[in-house]
Structure 1
Amino acid sequence: MDAKLQHFLAVYEHRSLGKAGRALGMSQPALSKSLRQLEQSLGMTLFTRHAWGVAPTVYAHTLLPYVRAIDMQFAAAQEELEALKNAHIGVVRVGSGAGASASLLPRTLLRLYGERPGMQVFVEEGLYHPLVMGVREGRLDMAVTMLTNLELPAALGHCRLMADPFHVALAHDHPLRGMPGRSCLPRLRDYPWVLPPQNGVLRPLLVALFKQLELPAPTATVQGVSIPCSAELLRKGRFLTLLPESVLRHYPDLAVLPLPELCLQRDLVAIWNQEIPTTPAAEYFLALLRDEAGRAPASAG
């Protein structure tokens, strides 16, 4: 609040320049000068001076409730700013790939709610390119997604969170699980597949993987990234798909083909825009995210 208004309140309450000055920790001449400047700016006399002190004029009585309201609003603003500074409140906008949305992100959100219930988080799930663009344009504070071989824009920084390899997933009773060793490889195309969209970054990696194995890439019977839908198709339809290891831990009724050559080694990363100042809330969320990633079980891939 403006110092002159604080001085006005002190003089009004104490009815004495000397007492008000001592309460404020300032000299009586300095307080008198500040009060005169306020009266000059308003064009009216707020106090009449007497030998025993000062008396408020009708203008001072009229001004008083407005100054007290300003004082209370300023104090409330200070409290809110302090809470914002210490990340007790604030809004974080997070973009997430499907894998992070099913595993790392929920753990981080639960911990955040326990530690900072006043914070709000908006989660946007999507593919790699839209998420990176959202961070670049400032619509997202950060994105949690799979690290690719593509070069990030110079403005974007990133940190590794955890290894999260992709495996070929299937139902426990799928016929391919009963085939020994590599003998199942030629049969991979005999079954329907749920594959990521062609405009994503995972699909080309899968095609390259099959090319290394000198096998034709599977054709998508279903194309999409919905993990619950994929899991249900695997359980009931003999489908195959690629799922990150962190997600598979939450689906004990699903299995993987335990062949190293069918594993895509990928890292989960957090991406942010280095050209946009990071809010305290976003910094706090990123710290929790990194800590939760560090607590995740080690990858078996």
Structure 2
Amino acid sequence: MNSLNIRQLEYFLTVAAHKSVTVAAAKLGVSQPTLTKTIRSLELELGVSLFERMPRGVDLTPYGQSLLRHAEAIRVQFGDAKSEIESLRGGKYGTVLIGAGPAWLRRHLPRAVAIATGKNPSIKVNVEGGYDDALLRSLRRGELDMVIAELPPKDEVRDLKLRPLTSDRLCVCCRAGHELQGRPKLSLPDLLRFPWAMPPEATRAHQRFRSVFISKDLAPPNAVVETKSMAFLLQMVRFSDALTFTVTTTLKTPEATGVVILDVPEVAAMRNAGIITRKDSWLSPAAQAIIDELIEICAREPTN
């Protein structure tokens, strides 16, 4: 009986990702017969079929789905091991891969990166902007070293380590001069008369906002615009009667000029944010240097 190896798992993961042996072979730079033979060898080793043929491409069997979870974890752990060994061997700070929510891209994170790279010029940083679950998926796949964003509930992410850094208040906003501005204690039905511009529906803020309406037996507002761009969202609100739901610190940015907070007690909520890493993963000296600067900055300014 042969032992599984990293190459077999990498080939398997590539086919699973593209759902096509032809596309996976091109991606890996190997011939289709070579890839097919490797997958077949893996199936013989495990004694099960990992893929089933579909009208277009292939799909994972239940056995394949089970292997996928473990193979992704092995790839991440192997990548961590390689990075740690390279760091120990070369004494280098290396490259840090960071995923960050919109608020962090504007304020604390750029300052932390600037300070860390100023002290250690050998540090290289790649920053990917995004929201919630998409960033956490990339973190779990080993595509990011850390995520700086809103913290998910602990019971939903037992495989991840959470470090709280900041908190901020979520609020409803509109343009200055809007007919709702200045009215005390607005109700949820008051908000339903206007269009909405929102971050993607999959984000925690959007889901939290919708749940408030559902809990009151009201249909949530329909977003006429959904965007990952906070700048676009704020400008949409600024030049229309649209409303949005965001954190109060967003209004400190230049793009939020002319945008004000509405008094809506029923949707007021706090959002905690911070650093998210894989539990028990290795962090490079470069990643730790940026984390140290973030912690220091957030201790002085605990909102973001």
The TM-score with structure 2 as length reference comes to 0.64
Alpha-carbon offset, residue 131 of structure 1: 1.2
Q: Residue 120 of structure 2: which of 116, 123, 129 is its match? A: 116
User: What residue in structure 2 maps to residue 282 of structure 1?
Assistant: 287
Tell me how far 1:162 sits from its aligned partner: 0.5
1:156-185 Cα offsets, whole Å, 9 max, x none, are 211001102221111122111032x12464
1:177 aligns with 2:181: yes
In structure 2, the partner of 1:209 is: 212
User: Is the partner of 1:151 in helix, strand or coil?
Assistant: helix
How big is each residue's C-alpha offset from its partner over 1:75-96, in whole Å with a ceiling of 9 and x where there is no partner? xx99x944x2xxxx42110011
- Determine helix, strand or coil for the equivalent of 1:246: helix
The unaligned stretches of length 5 or more in structure 1 are 1-76
Change (3 A) 1:258 1:103: farther
Q: Which residue does 1:255 correspond to in 2?
A: 260
Quote the Cα distance in structure 2 between the aligned partners of 1:281 and 1:106: 15
Cα gap change, 1:187/1:119 in structure 2, threshold over 3 Å: closer, same or farther? Answer: same
2: CA distance, partners of 1:155 / 1:185: 37
**Structure 1 Cα separation of the partners of residues 264 and 271 of structure 2:** 16
* Candidates 239, 245, 248, aligned match of 2:248: 245
Aligned position for 1:94: 98
Uncovered stretches (5+) of structure 2, i.e. residues with no partner:
1-85
Distance in 1, Cα, partners of 2:208 & 2:248: 16
Is 2:271 the partner of 1:266? yes
SS at match of 1:278: coil
Which entry has the higher C-alpha Rg, 1 or 2? Answer: 1
Structure 1 residue 245: Cα displacement? 2.2
Structure-2 residue corresponding to 1:146: 150
Aligned ranges for residues 63-74 of structure 1 at < 5 Å?
none
Residues in 2 aligned to 1:117 and 1:192: alpha-carbon distance in whole angstroms: 48
CA distance in 2, matches of 1:155, 1:297: 26
| Contact 2:198-2:233 within 8 A present in 1 as well | no
Query: How far apart are the structure 1 equivalents of 2:175 and 2:278?
Result: 40
Aligned to 2:28: none
Q: Which residue of 1 aligns with 2:72?
A: none
Contact 1:147 1:267 in 2 (8 A): yes
Partner of 1:165, secondary structure, is strand
Letter in 1 for 2:95: V
What displacement does 1:212 show? 4.4
Q: CA–CA distance in 2 between the matches of 1:150 and 1:199?
A: 18
RMSD: 2.6
Aligned to 1:163: 167
1:193 and 2:196 correspond: yes
Give the superposition deviation at 1:232.
0.7
Distance 1:209 1:116 in 2: 46
Deviation at 1:194, TM superposition (A): 0.9
Structure 1 segments (4+ residues) deviating >6 Å? none
Are the structure 2 counterparts of residues 298 and 202 from structure 1 closer, same or farther at C-alpha, using a change threshold of 3 Å?
A: closer
Map 1:25-104 onto structure 2 (within 5 A). Answer: 81-82=90-91, 84=92, 89-104=93-108
Aligned-pair identity in percent equals: 25
Tell me, in whole angstroms, the C-alpha distance in 1 between the residues paired with 2:218 and 2:177.
24
Q: Distance in 1 between matches of 2:186 and 2:264?
A: 11
Count matched residues: 217
Instruction: Give the structure 1 partner of residue 237 of structure 2.
Output: 234
Shift of 1:196: 2.5
